[in-house]
Amino acid sequence: MTSRNDSLFERARKRIPAGVNSPVRAFRAVGGTPPFFERASGPHLWDADGKRYIDYIGSWGPMVVGHTHPKVVEAVQAAAARALSFGAPTESEIELAEAICRLVPSVEMVRLVSSGTEATMSAIRLARGYTGRSLIVKFEGCYHGHTDSLLVKVGSGALTFGNPSSAGVPPETAAHTLVLDYNDIVQVETLFKDKGSQIAGVIVEPVAGNMNLVLPRPGFLESLRENCSRHGAVLLFDEVMTGFRVALGGAQARYGIRPDLTTLGKVIGGGLPVGAFGGRREIMEKIAPLGPVYQAGTLSGNPVAVAAGLATLKLVEEKDFQSTIEATTRSLVDGLIAEAKKAQVVFSAQSVGSMFGLYFRASPPTSFAEVLQCDKDRFNRFFHALLERGVYLAPSAYEAGFVSAAHGPTEIDATLAAAREAFGS
């Protein structure tokens, strides 16, 4: 008997490339048919066949308070009743900007956009416009959206499909992007000694989440800050994923490093499309119409999306929110490690804030090269074993996972029970 998921996937492939609107959703890395979801609540999703899953993707990060939280839904409904879009200023835009500047240590001014990709694209242009330089430094395995100049040795979906870069990106565009190994301080020092006066900026995921979860080694982020300051380059933290996830003020608050520019997304939209880039006032004032760096967006600061983001941030700011969700994530990771050990499976895991990584190798990776040493086939089997048991992980060995405030002991215990069976098989 054909499931509704199968029939929907077949129907989708006739009109949508590969049947999906974002590559990793196609399940090509793990095989099989992706579930098509119809509704969500708290930590759970229900697919087109009515099957319930414990969700550890959270729409790839934004659902930090859980799905369809009543206060977020109420805020969205109230905003939608007033207007779906103005294409003009609103007070709620100011409120979200004020909240971001208050919570994120380095941000003095911020501009709202509609996606994380748009935020990083605009921030890179701003770094170049501010410095008058062309070169941008990124790190192998880090993904900063699909803007041309950053699609060089990327992570996330492109890593899943084994493409170090994308067709359609002119070589002369890619030539302005220099790629180093994540966590390699010596490479950073060497490059800046050689080309420091030509480097406009360094963009980095302060905690990498697009080649699975890779934590910064002690001194790595500090070396980026020191070299950018010494050579007049802009340090740009891509906190689209880590913002309000690894700490209330993002990775920069957790690790005590102040970048010059920060990009945000996901959580600040509460599940609706919102992005932002912000930072030092003197740099942000180079943005049009104050300065010569052009950036615009018809739906930037959309009132419905901003309402969802404001309601989410109010919940994230509540006392004990961060400590509770971090403890829940840690209990999941510790439990998975224990179950794998009992089954004598080579496995490791780690977490930071409410993000986690699972690896079929003896210890957590610290670089892109070590990520590639993980047993991808074993992950794929583990993924499907959990999916069959109602646990929804990212369909790729190269993606971080996310826990929400709606996950509790019941969900963690059920996940560990499913993992116990999966490891045993």
Catalytic residues: 143, 238, 266
Do the Cβ atoms of 123 and 293 come closer than 8 Å? no
Alpha-carbon distance of 120 to 123, in angstroms, equals 5
Positive or negative CA dihedral for 343, 347, 348, 353?
negative
Residues 6+ apart with CB under 8 A from 306: 79, 90, 92, 93, 95, 96, 112, 274
Tokens of 11: 């129907």
Residue 88 burial (10 A CB sphere; 0-12, 13-18, 19+): exposed
Question: How is residue 163 annotated by DSSP?
Answer: -
Do the Cβ atoms of 241 and 209 come closer than 8 Å? yes
DSSP character string of 393-421? --SSTT--EE--TT--HHHHHHHHHHHHH
Question: How is residue 375 annotated by DSSP?
Answer: -
Q: Phi and psi (nearest 5°) for 149?
A: -70, -15
Pairing of strands 199-204, 135-139: parallel
Positive or negative CA dihedral for 255, 258, 262, 267?
positive
Alpha-carbon distance of 365 to 360, in angstroms, equals 10
Which residues on neighbouring strands pair with residue 356, listed in sequence order? Answer: 351, 401
Alpha-carbon distance of 336 to 211, in angstroms, equals 20
Alpha-carbon distance of 279 to 124, in angstroms, equals 13
Alpha-carbon distance of 37 to 59, in angstroms, equals 11
Positive or negative CA dihedral for 12, 17, 20, 24?
positive
Of 151, 154, 273, nearest in space to 209 by CA = 154
Residue type, 232: G
